[in-house]
Amino acid sequence: MINELSLHRNDYLKLYGGDDRLAYITNALLLSKRKTRRHGVALIEKWLTFPDMGHIVATVLGKVVVKLTKQGASETFFSLRGIPSSNPSSLIICLGAIPGHYIYVKLKDDCPIPPTCIQWKSHCSAEAIVWESFFVARQAKFDKLMK
């Protein structure tokens, strides 16, 4: 993910609104300098943050990343570049956000998914815009369900 940020630095500068936020995101991806007593404990500044990481993960993996939460907005992230495969519905990774943690959520086929992250529409490439078209009906179901 650090390579993604480095290779497309100017794109991410625009997305994140400047050097400070990009530096924060990049630092969150680097190994911690402080040793912890317990193996596998991540420092708070190293935690996955949305919407920042949603864009990077979707782009690096070429998958759809869905964040479901009751705190804030549930969102869908698509790759910022490239076109989806012939079956993008099979490329969904869903994370459920609970206070202080994320859990993997296995979605049923054709289930509703939340709206697209607003920033994606402003920063995706011309070729990547087609990602959203495969999920419009599912996003409409989600909006109807939430109302």
State yes or no: pLDDT of 99 exceeds 60. yes
State yes or no: pLDDT of 32 exceeds 70. no
Q: In this structure, are residues 46 and 32 in contact, taking their beta carbons and an 8 Å threshold?
A: yes
Query: In this predicted model, what pLDDT tens digit does every residue of 38-82 receive, in sequence order?
Result: 555 555 555 666 777 888 999 999 999 999 998 888 999 999 999
Q: How many residues does the chain have?
A: 147
State yes or no: pLDDT of 126 exceeds 70. yes
The angle at the Cα of 114, spanning 146 to 111, to the nearest 5 degrees, equals 85
- Alpha helix ranges (H) inside the chain: 2-7, 9-16, 19-29, 52-61, 118-123, 130-133, 136-146
Q: What's residue 5's pLDDT?
A: 85
In the three-class reduction of DSSP (H, G, I as helix; E, B as strand; rest coil), residue 111 is classed as coil
φ, ψ for residue 4 (rounded to 5)? -60, -45
Strand order in the sheet with 64-69: 75-77, 64-69, 92-98, 101-105
Is this model's pTM higher than 0.85 or not?
no
Query: In this predicted model, what pLDDT tens digit does every residue of 100-125 receive, in sequence order?
Result: 788 899 999 999 999 999 999 899 99
Q: Which residue has the higher pLDDT, 82 or 33?
A: 82
